[in-house]
Amino acid sequence: MRAFLREQSCRSSLRSSSLNSIQGFLEGHSRGYRPQTVISVKVRQVSAGPKEGILLLREASQPSNKGGTTVFSSLYREERPFFVDNTRFKGAVQGMKEKLEALKAEALAKLQEVTDPQILNDLRVKYLGKKGELTEVLRGMGGLSAEERPVIGQVANLVRSAIEEVIGTKQEIFQQQETQNRLNAEKVDVSLPGRGLPQGGIHPLNRVIQEIEDIFIGMGYRIEEGPEVETDYYNFEALNLPKNHPARDMQDSFYLTEDLLMRTQTSPVQVRTMQAMKGETPVKIICPGKVFRRDDDDATHSFQFHQIEGLVIGRNIRMSDLKGTLLQFMKEMFGPTAGIRLRPSFFPFTEPSVEVDVSCFKCGGEGCRLCKQSGWLEILGAGMVHPNVLRMGGYDPEIYSGFAFGVGAERIAMLKYGIDDIRYFYTNDMGFVKQFKGI
């Protein structure tokens, strides 16, 4: 009775092809199936093929209950050969292998076509995710024997790593593409012409002041600056202009208090510097800055303008030093043919005082409209420092002497650039200011 196990029951119950499970199955299957009991099963292994062997059966006795003891009526033994064609169950491993390979082939084909990182991620989840297809296939490993599991496990691992590798490569490509796209988007097109920055220009007044500073720095002078709001003492008294001195009328100012005013000249910086130097020599300074006077504005007057004052103190400083310095200044400012002329004048802080003219740079002294046919342009005031001023500055007039001069930046700029109205300097008319670009 070789056909002891019918195919149908085998297929439904015997999912594995291992020897142990066949044996277990046969025992279980025989029990209660017939009034026989399987005593033992001997399975002869036929590798990778059908299994056959001997079942040792015993017929169950008719139990009779005699005094509470079960007695077997008879003993019946039978040996029956069996045959299980388990090749189809070998197919469990084979089937899983095939499934895994098919899964791999499908996954790789799909992955190959992916052009979008999102879809790539979806496929990763689909195949490798917790609820993915590979996991699904591996779930079937439960029915495999201990010997078979590693075989399928190995195949599964290979499939997994093959899929992972393609995903990894794809991810890398996408990342490179993204970087490339970003770089492309951020690329600076150097072939575009640059956006032009509006070119600025230096205001003609600053230009003149800087030029004068440069000339005097070249002669060893320092630049000194001081406050625009001054005390009556520094602006007038220390410059030999005591209260009620009639010369104060020439420089009426804006008073903030009885004692504080907008400085009318940069001369107070001379006094401040002399005091700060505490008798040291030489004093050689240039003081540029804004000054204020109570003037009505017109083409040649402004309530606010700029002065550049110079002061030199030392031993044996003479009128000829003043003259030589100013001549050099004018030559550097207006050209090497410039000459100067000194006329007697009055300033309370210098004695003697002079008005200095420069030869007209336009006509060379022949007479023109600019110099009003005189050949000379009135340019600055100067003189030898008054002994009182030296004394108030802390210098003994018996030992030290000095000269000072003061020049208006507007006056020079107007002469130099042919500007006929002082108000142009302050009204910020772009048409005016732009003309000085790049000069």
Least Cβ distance, residue 322 to ligand PHE (angstroms): 10
Query: Which residue lies nearest ligand PHE, judged by its C-beta?
Result: 406
Rounded least distance, CB 346 to ligand PHE, Å: 10
* Closest to ligand PHE by CB, 156 or 308: 308
Q: Which is nearer to ligand PHE, 51 or 293 (CB)?
A: 293
Taking the least distance from each CB to ligand PHE, the nearer of 204 and 402 is: 402
For residue 193, the minimal CB distance to ligand PHE (Å) is 51
**302 vs 307, beta carbon nearer ligand PHE:** 307
Task: For residue 349, give Cα distances in angstroms to 203, 216, 275.
Answer: 31, 22, 16
The residue among 132 and 402 lying less far from ligand PHE, judged by its C-beta, is: 402
In the complex, the smallest distance separating the C-beta of residue 382 from ligand PHE, rounded to whole angstroms, is 5
Is 97 in contact with 149 (CB distance < 8 Å)?
no
Q: Given the complex with ligand PHE, which of 17 and 265 has the nearer CB atom?
A: 265
**CA 181 to each of CA 48, 117, 171, 174: distance values in angstroms, whole numbers, following the listed order:** 57, 14, 15, 10
The 10 Å CB-count burial string (b at 16+, else e) for 276-303 is ebeeeeebbbbbbbebbbeeeeeeeebe
Report the nearest approach of ligand PHE to the CB of residue 388 (Å).
14
In angstroms, rounded to a whole number, what is the distance separating the alpha carbons of residues 232 and 245?
13
Please give the residue ranges that form the binding site for ligand PHE (CB under 6 A): 265, 267, 307, 309, 347, 350, 381-383, 404-406
Residue 254 CB, shortest distance to ligand PHE, in Å, is 15
User: In angstroms, what is the minimal distance from the CB of 423 to ligand PHE?
Assistant: 20
**Closest CB to ligand PHE among 123 and 322?**
322
Nearer to ligand PHE, 5 or 287 (CB): 287
- Calculate the CA 126 to chain-centre distance: 43
CB of 251 to ligand PHE, least distance (A): 7
